[in-house]
Amino acid sequence: MFNELNPLLHQQLRLSVMSLLMNVKEADFTYIREKTGATAGNLSVQINKLAEAEYIQVKKSFKENYPLTTCSVT
């Protein structure tokens, strides 16, 4: 009846990131960090895991000479 849930999504921060991104078209790293209350290092690791599993797409660019990381659901 139900498909097995991917254990990757059981971790609280990864689930929070996915929930947040499901409600917006895309979000930048700072916005996600502020909304989840995560540290930059931990959030970076969790975003990389979600990107490797192809749950999200990560786009890196620059805005006014500052790095800008933007995430969206695939």
Q: Name the architecture of domain 7-73.
A: Orthogonal Bundle (1.10)
**pTM of the model as a whole:** 0.88
| Cα-to-chain-centroid distance, residue 28 | 9
Give the sheet arrangement for strand 56-63, strand by strand: 27-28, 66-73, 56-63
Domain map of the chain by residue range?
7-73
- For residue 17, with 0-12 CB atoms within 10 Å meaning exposed, 13-18 middle and 19 or more buried, which class applies? buried
What pLDDT, on the 0 to 100 scale, is given for residue 34?
97
Distance CA 25, CA 65 (A): 24
pLDDT tens-digit map of 26-57 = 999 999 999 999 999 999 999 999 999 999 99
What pLDDT, on the 0 to 100 scale, is given for residue 1?
58
pLDDT tens-digit map of 2-19 = 677 788 888 999 999 999
Query: Which residue bears the tokens 């695939």?
Result: 74
Distance CA 3, CA 71 (A): 26
